[in-house]
Each structure stands twice: as structure tokens, then as C-alpha cells.
Amino acid sequence: MDFINNDFDKPNSHCDEPICELLKSLTKHTICDFGIGIEGTKQKLFVLNKGTSQPISVDGTDPTVFTLENFDPKDCLAVFSFKKEELDSSVGVTNVKGTLVIDCNEIGGLLFLKKQDDDDL
């Protein structure tokens, strides 16, 4: 009897949302291939949960700017990093770094951000 799962390296069939395919493509190619960024830089973006029209906010106030770090099509997990400034009454403003890990099937959309000096917005 064969107990080895030969499908280990194959993408999981439940990663079937279009956003999952986009994330897979973004991790295989430069963002420049999609005409939405600058080659060699990490694209900044907002992440929208499925069924919402507002970007995710890790602190409940302003939308959080994320950077895609990794996507694994075997488990459908996308890994995003973020930096946020938080006001602490004892020390003032502190920079907080964090990681968001989310199932791609729960992402409703990605909003790619450009620098304010880009004039083609």
C-alpha cells in the first residue's frame, strides 16, 4: 500500500478564487510585468476582505498599507507585511511592524498604490 501523497507539490484545488491566481502570478513575476509597479521594488497595496468595500485596517482607523511577501498555492496562504505608526502616551510615536497571513479565498480585492508624484493616476 502506498502511503506517500504524490500530490504534495501540486497546488491545492480549493485555491480557486481569481485573486489566488493573481497572487500566484505576482510571486512568480515582477510587478512590472503587470504594468502596476516599478521593477525591483515591492508593490504597496491595500487588501480588501471578501464582501467588504473597505481596505483592512489593523488598528481600526486608517487603511493599512501592505506589501506582499509570499504566497503559497499549496495551502492558499498569502503573507503580507506592514508598518504602522502608533501613538503611545508614555513614549510618543512608535513604529510597529507586523505580518498578516490570510487565506487567499478570503481576499476580495487588492488595491495597488502608486507614489503621489506619479502623474498618470
Taking the alpha carbons at both ends of the chain, their separation in whole angstroms is: 60
Dihedral of CA atoms 112, 66, 94, 85 in degrees, nearest 10, equals 40
Cα 72 to Cα 28: distance, rounded to the nearest angstrom: 11
Least reliable range by pLDDT among 42-46, 49-53, 69-73, 90-94: 90-94
What's the pLDDT tens digit per position in 77-91? 999 999 988 777 777
**For residue 120, what pLDDT is reported?**
53
Q: What pTM, to 2 d.p., does this model score? A: 0.73
C-alpha cell at 3: 502511503
Please name every residue paired with 86 in a beta bridge, in sequence order, or none if there are none: 94
Write the DSSP assignment of 77-96 as a string of letters. EEEEEEEEEEEETTTEEEEE
Question: How many other β-carbons are positioned within 10 Å of the β-carbon of residue 38?
Answer: 13
Say yes or no to pLDDT of 73 above 70.
yes
**For residue 33, what pLDDT is reported?**
47
Cα 11 to Cα 63: distance, rounded to the nearest angstrom: 31
**For residue 118, what pLDDT is reported?**
52
User: How does the average pLDDT of the chain come out, rounded?
Assistant: 79
